[in-house]
Chains A and B, each alone.
Chain A
Amino acid sequence: MGEVERASHRAADMDEWDVPQMKKEVESLKYQLAFKREKSSKTVTDLVKWIEDGVPEDPFLNPELMKSNPWVEKGKCVLL
Chain B
Amino acid sequence: MEELRKEMENLKDQITAVRKTFQDSTLQEAAAGVTVVGRVQLKTRKTLRGHLAKIYAMHWGTDSTLCVSASQDGKLIVWDTITTNKVNAIPLKSSWVMTCAYAPSGNLVACGGLDNMCSIYNLKGKDGNVKVMRELAAHTGYLSCCRFLSDTEIITSSGDCTCVLWDIETGTQKMVFAGHQGDAMSLGVSPDFKFFISGACDFTAKLWDIREAECRQTFGGHESDINAIGFFPNGNAVITGSDDATCKLYDLRADQELLTYQDPSIMCGVTSLAPSKSGRLLLAGHDDFNVNIWDMLKAERVGVLAGHDNRVSCIGVSSDGMACCTGSWDSFLKIWN
Contact = CB atoms under 8 A, between A and B. Distances in A.
Interface in B13-45: 14-15, 18-19, 22-27, 29-31, 34, 37, 40, 42, 45
A33 B18 CA distance: 8
A49 B4 CA distance: 43
Interface string A1-14: 10010101111101
Contact of A11 (B24, B202, B277): B202
Interface string A51-78: 1101101111100011001111000000
Q: Is the interface on chain B under 10, 10 to 19, 20 to 34, or 35 or more residues?
A: 35 or more
B5 to A, nearest CB: 7
A41 B25 contact: yes
Contacts of B46: 71
A8 B182 contact: yes
Contacts of A61: 37, 40, 276, 278, 280-281
Prevailing SS type, chain A contact patch: helix
B161 interface: yes
Contacts of B287: none
Given A40-B23, A55-B280, A60-B276, A70 B82 contact: yes
Contacts, number: 191
Classify the secondary structure of B's interface with A: loop
A39 B26 CA distance: 10
A24 B54 CA distance: 40
Query: In this complex, which of A4, A50, A71 has the most chain B Cβ atoms within 10 angstroms of its Cβ?
Result: A71
14 contacts: A4-B72, A8-B201, A28-B215, A29-B8, A29-B15, A32-B215, A35-B216, A37-B18, A39-B22, A39-B25, A47-B251, A48-B297, A51-B296, A59-B322
Given A11-B183, A37-B22, 8 more contacts: A11-B202, A19-B4, A26-B8, A28-B215, A37-B254, A44-B254, A59-B322, A66-B322
